[in-house]
Structure 1
Amino acid sequence: MIVYGIKTCGTVQKALAALSAAGKAPVLRDVRKTPLTPEEIAEFVAAFGDKLINRSSTTWRGLSETERAAPIEALLRAHPTLMKRPVIRGNGLTLGWDAAAQKAHS
């Protein structure tokens, strides 16, 4: 099970703790240290569309209107922390750590 995110994200930390407590042995893939590959970006965009971009993040607020208009793939290559977190690869792909994601990985 791979958890894509950043180690300082509170939501990622909660997901990792819950998954570990459930005996899942999650592995954190810090997208700052190991950026997503073009194939992973394409897969995530296909699965989640524009929901993949965290439009409430500090990074997003710092972008110009021109930068915000770029394709999702270009945004994630340039700014990996724009990805909504976590993306979890386990029983399929899930985005975030809401009740549906928790149920999918229980």
Structure 2
Amino acid sequence: MPGQKLVLYGLKNCDTCKKAKRALEEAGDTVQFVDIRDETDLAAKVPVWLKAAPEKLVNKSSTTWRNLTNGDKAKVGTQGEFQLLIKYPTLIKRPVIEAGRAVHVGWGKDVQGALLK
């Protein structure tokens, strides 16, 4: 819904994050950008995000994912993924957008449809 205050967590050099921020601002939203590596308390945020989007939060198409050991990959879907996401913030699918209490992960058509109405 345009006109809302959103918090977009991402990386400064992430093209998808830039595209999402631009589209949201053009739709009339106020977007606060927060760098996921440098400015985010991941220990506090990751549990909230995992609860909201457990199937989407781990970016399995990232370079970080491909470089993980099979043992680390096996932790996804368990309590162990929390530690992986804290240790490797680039493993978090981006952007993560908080719209009030709602959490949206990625910038697919589903997220765009929910936020750009």
TM-score (normalizing by structure 1): 0.90
Are the equivalent residues in 2 in contact too, given 1:6–1:12 (CA < 8 A)?
A: yes
Q: 2: CA distance between counterparts of 1:51 and 1:102?
A: 15
- CA displacement, residues 40-92 of structure 1 (integer Å, 9 cap, x when unaligned): 11111111114210011011111111222331110111000100011111152
- Report the counterpart of residue 18 of structure 1 in structure 2: 23
Instruction: Give the superposition deviation at 1:38.
Output: 2.1
- Report the counterpart of residue 3 of structure 2 in structure 1: none
- Report the counterpart of residue 51 of structure 1 in structure 2: 56
Root mean square deviation, CA, Å: 1.4
Answering whether residue 91 of structure 2 is matched by residue 86 of structure 1, we say no
Runs of 5+ consecutive residues of structure 1 not aligned to the other structure: none
Give the secondary structure class of the aligned counterpart of 2:103: strand
Are the equivalent residues in 2 in contact too, given 1:35–1:80 (CA < 8 A)?
A: no
Q: Taking every aligned residue pair, what percent have the same amino acid on both sides?
A: 37
Q: Which amino acid aligns with 2:71?
A: T
Answering whether residue 13 of structure 2 is matched by residue 8 of structure 1, we say yes
TM-score (normalizing by structure 2): 0.82
Q: How many residues align?
A: 106
